[in-house]
Structure 1
């Protein structure tokens, strides 16, 4: 078939850039319909195009010294814990234990990395769970060793916001979280597209991926915090060097960013939900426009920053991402699989590979566990998955 190759390792059909004219037209916004967090399209027949990668240059930077192998592997080392309810955010503590946020219960739980034992730290006040909103991403302060602060992104009755809370291990279980101190408020909220991923970058600045809350016009509005990647100081002020004066906006034209990760060259990547055609993995350049709602997936022009890789929505519906052993690893909700995207600089070094397809259901969050290890968390108890005995769970993976 002209311009196409079929991968043996996964289920994705990879279409090369040579067919750009027709696909660019198809990737433009279809105003009717919307893909929810589970990635199932709402078009008349439910059909979606096959996946695709776009190996194109993104932010300038030095190329990686050595490209990762074209074919990788994933080994499930063990199940760390089971019985989690609507888990969303995952943050490793110094020493190896894990913190988990529950979207619907608005709690933060500590998981003993060795035994899997769970201890509830407490419930976060002010969280208003509904639809795709609730207690979402969590992250540790870059000065956690001295300040013991946990940052969280959550949906309140009026907006999405970022807060920080003191974690006092000396207090009794259930009472270890201090009162939330609001760092940033005013991120648009909706039943859908609340974003929610937060992470501290190598620069010790706090990054947040937001959604446009179902109001597509917000993504192109630089005055709105919706449909953006935000960059701020730990106190919530615009970070030094941001592309727009006195603004926390770092990049715009996003639909619903749910994954943030940096490679070993400190380059930022982000995963993003498409509407009904293309989900995206983007290499982020400060100040760039990523196209939504004028473009979904690759546009082929110079106005918008094209994705590094893209997939049909039933193959991905991406949430968390992590960088390890030269690749970005992307958790898929609707796709129910873990994607490996080998990188060479800010280009794809080889076709993405799919792993664990259908084995553990919806995959929400993946974070580095050091070296060639990853933590992977499922999302089958959030009302959209097929929960099985033991769900939800955290897995330890070994990857190459």
Structure 2
């Protein structure tokens, strides 16, 4: 769905160390295929000169759009790899996992040429995050309009995935910014999924009157997508256990930091007895570091048809997930391209089913390597 419109101790620090950044080198650009024949190679490297790409979306102009954490937004030709810079946001603060992050286009881009992005900046007392809108004109983004500001941010756990719904509301994931108290605090925007009108105001039908909060109790959700059944789903980083897939329901509590994954310990059961908590529908222990999540409907790559596709950072793979009939559990997990491309940050799909991934290096915190966009042409037998 994103392709249609398109988040205190040594133990905690050690678990966080595995969760974000860079890539190796490869520089071949594929030639366009005028005859529409299947490419010879299963994968092709489109571009390999990026600086930590974070968001990758198929734009309404049939170009790939990418954000880089250093503040650059570019359009990339999906056949030649030619990169056109459309904006550098000068006041972006790139510190470890922070920087320029999520992006989404207005679904009616021809009449409303707006691009919404999230970035971190240096506030008076440390890092903060803001959601802004730019206007696209003459191959340039300009006219920055701040829609939501002073969102908690840090060098870790900033969430920042954006999604626009069919009824034209903007959803945004936020992380707990390394402060676990924020996720259960309804006066904080940290550790939440937020819902806004496209002008930045609060929708009158939000679950909590006068609040942007749509769901809460999140740690660091970095994937957000719709299933064709209308359900909303997210992928979320756990601490040293319980990376999650969640079915997101308006107004519900997802438990962090009191509940990790499912409610299966005495302390979690005690907390849940007084608070209605929604358990994850799938989880991973040990953690894998899940990032972007989309739902693939095309038959161009039949092995992935009607499955969630998720990019994975620490375990460096694409995971395909099959949802059950009523949307409440994952029935199958399949692993593809295991450790072939390094850490995988994001995934984008064209209207015809072409699949592109953005890589983030071979190890967390590696800022020296090059970073690639790779097209997946087919699954080799």
Is the pair's TM-score, using the shorter chain for normalization, greater than 0.5?
A: yes
Would the alpha carbon gap of residues 392 and 36 (structure 1) be closer, same or farther in structure 2, given more than 3 Å must change? farther
Paired position in structure 2 for 1:216: 180
Counterpart CA distance in 2 for 1:399 and 1:291 is 37
- Check if 1:167 corresponds to 2:141: no
Spell out, residue by residue over 1:124-174, the C-alpha distance to the aligned partner (whole angstroms, 9 max, x if none).
13211112110001110122111211110000112111001112225xxxx
Would the alpha carbon gap of residues 370 and 37 (structure 1) be closer, same or farther in structure 2, given more than 3 Å must change? farther
Q: Secondary structure at the match of 2:350?
A: strand
Q: Secondary structure at the match of 1:147?
A: coil
Q: TM-score, normalised by structure 1?
A: 0.77
Paired position in structure 2 for 1:111: 76
Spell out, residue by residue over 1:66-92, the C-alpha distance to the aligned partner (whole angstroms, 9 max, x if none).
xxxxxxxxx944333222111001121
Paired position in structure 1 for 2:312: 332
Paired position in structure 1 for 2:12: 33
1:125 alignment partner, one of 66, 79, 90: 90
Paired position in structure 1 for 2:361: 380
2:225 alignment partner, one of 261, 276, 296: 261
Would the alpha carbon gap of residues 210 and 123 (structure 1) be closer, same or farther in structure 2, given more than 3 Å must change? same
Q: Secondary structure at the match of 2:183?
A: helix
Are the aligned partners of 1:225 and 1:249 in contact in 2 as well (CA < 8 Å)? yes
Paired position in structure 1 for 2:54: 88
Counterpart CA distance in 2 for 1:382 and 1:129 is 18
1:102 alignment partner, one of 68, 77, 90: 68
Paired position in structure 1 for 2:164: 200
Spell out, residue by residue over 1:85-119, the C-alpha distance to the aligned partner (whole angstroms, 9 max, x if none).
1100112112421111110x201011001111111
Are the aligned partners of 1:254 and 1:290 in contact in 2 as well (CA < 8 Å)? yes
Paired position in structure 2 for 1:323: 295
Paired position in structure 2 for 1:353: 334
1:1-400 map, 5 Å: 32-34=11-13, 35-36=15-16, 38-39=18-19, 76-103=42-69, 105-158=70-123, 159-169=128-138, 176-300=140-264, 303-314=276-287, 316-324=288-296, 325-344=305-324, 345-348=326-329, 350-370=331-351, 372-380=353-361, 384-385=365-366, 391-398=371-378
CA RMSD of aligned residues (A): 2.5
Spell out, residue by residue over 1:178-210, the C-alpha distance to the aligned partner (whole angstroms, 9 max, x if none).
132101112101121111111212222111110
Counterpart CA distance in 1 for 2:330 and 2:183 is 30
Structure 1 stretches lacking a partner, 5+ long: 1-28, 41-74, 171-175
Are the aligned partners of 2:18 and 2:364 in contact in 1 as well (CA < 8 Å)? no
Counterpart CA distance in 1 for 2:355 and 2:94 is 28
Q: Secondary structure at the match of 2:111?
A: helix
Counterpart CA distance in 2 for 1:205 and 1:399 is 35
Would the alpha carbon gap of residues 191 and 270 (structure 1) be closer, same or farther in structure 2, given more than 3 Å must change? same
Are the aligned partners of 2:129 and 2:153 in contact in 1 as well (CA < 8 Å)? yes
Question: How many pairs does the alignment contain?
Answer: 330
Q: Secondary structure at the match of 2:181?
A: helix
Structure 2 stretches lacking a partner, 5+ long: 1-7, 21-40, 297-304
Spell out, residue by residue over 1:204-245, the C-alpha distance to the aligned partner (whole angstroms, 9 max, x if none).
211111001111000001111000001111111122421100
Counterpart CA distance in 2 for 1:299 and 1:291 is 9
Q: Secondary structure at the match of 2:12?
A: coil
Using the TM superposition, give the Cα deviation of residue 392 of structure 1 relative to its aligned residue in structure 2, in angstroms. Answer: 2.3
Q: Secondary structure at the match of 2:361?
A: coil
Using the TM superposition, give the Cα deviation of residue 349 of structure 1 relative to its aligned residue in structure 2, in angstroms. Answer: 5.1
Are the aligned partners of 2:104 and 2:117 in contact in 1 as well (CA < 8 Å)? yes
